[in-house]
Chain A
Amino acid sequence: MAPLEPWEKVLIALGRNQSSYSDIDPVHSLVGCVNCHGGKEPAGFEEAHDSTLVRDPSRNADENCSPCHAQIAETNKNSMHTMAWGERTSIAQRELGAGYDHTDFENCPDALVDGLETECSSCHTTCGQCHVSRPESVHGGFIDSHRFNRTPDQNNNCMACHGSRIAVDFKGSLSGNRPDVHYLNAMKCFDCHTEDMHADASMTESRYHLADLPTCTDAGCHIPDSGADLPVANQWHSVHWPDENGNGLSCFVCHSQPYNNCNTCHTAGEWKEGYAQVGDSDIHTGGGGYIEYPDFRIGYNYNKNLHDGEWIVVRHIPVSRDSYSNWGHDVLDSYDDRPVWEYSSPHNIRLFTAQTDTSDGATCSENCHVTGAKAAENSERYLWRSYISSEFSDEIIANDPVTVDDHVPSGWTKY
């Protein structure tokens, strides 16, 4: 997402029949600019923008948002977006060990705690970065002339942060991909994501632990065997639909296209250097060895309490043993305790994918099972130890739980 020009970021553009900001947002205009932003008024330029001026008043939600939105402001202090609980869990597990979670994060070395509280928290996030302006990750700017939007804007808010993976997936930007079928049907983020974004999530390890996270069967959208008129009642689903015993496939295994993976994220903004918009080409490199690339890998689900099915789609996430060296923490002590190929939910769903497309006469199993004439070709859809060894030699132990070698059917060729 290209940043706005400086003047665009702060322009309150009046429409026809509008004579002031009060015509854009009659309620918030009553508060007055300086009552939230500080500075002085009336005053000349320098005095108006003095040291008391605050660019994002919602960083101090207690003072500026709570007077009218007390309950939301209070619970939002501990929301997933504000606190990045999942990031705290992943750092705690890679530093302290697999048995730890976000509640142990404060026991990590000071360099990690301080780094997250400053660099990560600078984007995770404020009321204004969702409801007034673009977020800090794309350097801000009013979305609707400083109108407070009840529902965040999908492109300018949600996808500004969830850009290199979710947005790219959803819009089909990767070369060879098509847009997600839900995107083509004009569905918005909040059509599925009905979870309370402001809820206190302090008891939640990560976003995948949220109780009200969307599923494919929510709202009766895709219920198996619910009628012949629905495409979900078919022989493939009857064989592969995940059951309560932990068998079957995650929906993504059959219905996702290749998705962005990232390697070697470093802190202090190093990874952003040289970043280019995905869509121009398929490989993007940044500073410190950061790289993005498309891939599709089926892995073994070792946590069936959290995710359905024995087989899941996994994505290489941007972390490395020395990711936080710029914070003064050279190596994560328990890096091998958590896979770097993690469960993923690519937002690039299609009925027909490379796995399910039978238009060339092949069956689904011929497209996917590692047997017969296409065994070698199909093997590239799976996360094997040999693949980890050749491409990610520093992650052999960490990724062992998600590799498929010990779990594929006995008749399959192993790679």
Chain B
Amino acid sequence: MKKITISLSVIAGAVFWGCDPGIDKIVASDPNTCEGCHIDQTALQKYASEESATASGGG
């Protein structure tokens, strides 16, 4: 049981290490991270400029 627990911990750690983009802490307005801007409404209101259009209504 102990071996299994250790193995799972190692695997989980490896997976997390492999996927982690390397950002330890997200700070709103941090211009260096995607999430820093995308959690910041003020920043998005300033920069988001995608053209809005009328909805189609669909079929």
Contacts and interface: CB of A to CB of B under 8 A. Distances in A.
Interface string A34-63: 110101011111001000000000000000
Interface footprint category on B: 20 to 34
A354 to B, nearest CB: 26
B21 A139 contact: no
Nearest to B15: A30
Given A20-B26, A20-B39, A138-B56, A39 B19 contact: no
Contacts of B5: none
Which 6 interchain pairs have the tightest Cβ spacing? A32-B21, A42-B32, A7-B44, A163-B58, A33-B34, A6-B48
A13 B41 contact: yes
A8 to B, nearest CB: 8
A278 interface: yes
A39 B39 contact: no
Contact of A278 (B21, B33, B57): B57
Interface string A320-339: 00000000000000000000
Contact of A3 (B44, B47, B54): B54
B39 A138 contact: no
B56 A162 contact: no
Contacts of B25: 20
B55 A2 contact: yes
Interface string B34-59: 11011101001101111111111111
16 contacts: A1-B55, A2-B55, A5-B52, A7-B45, A20-B25, A21-B35, A30-B16, A41-B32, A41-B33, A42-B23, A42-B32, A137-B55, A137-B56, A137-B57, A160-B58, A163-B58
A20 B35 contact: yes
Interface string B1-36: 000000000000001100111010110000111110
Contacts of A277: 55, 57
Contact of A12 (B21, B35, B55): B35
Interface in A1-35: 1-7, 9-14, 19-21, 30-35
Interface string A215-238: 000000000000000000000000
A1 B19 CA distance: 37
A275 B26 contact: no
Given A3-B52, A20-B35, A162 B21 contact: no
A3 B59 contact: no
A256 interface: no
B45 to A, nearest CB: 5
A161 interface: yes
A272 interface: yes
A5 B58 CA distance: 19
A164 B59 contact: yes
A138 B58 contact: yes
Interface in A64-114: none
Given A11-B44, A33-B35, A275 B56 contact: yes
A39 B34 contact: yes
Given A4-B52, A12-B35, A33-B35, 7 more contacts: A12-B38, A20-B39, A30-B16, A42-B23, A43-B32, A48-B34, A165-B59
Contact of B48 (A9, A41, A139, A160): A9
Interface in A158-194: 159-165
Interface in A363-377: none
B54 A10 contact: no
B58 A161 contact: yes
A37 B35 CA distance: 12
A30 B17 CA distance: 9
B57 A1 contact: yes
Contacts of A3: 52-55
A272 B57 CA distance: 8
Nearest to A20: B26
Contacts of A20: 25-26, 35, 39
B44 A21 contact: no
A91 to B, nearest CB: 15
A137 B35 contact: no
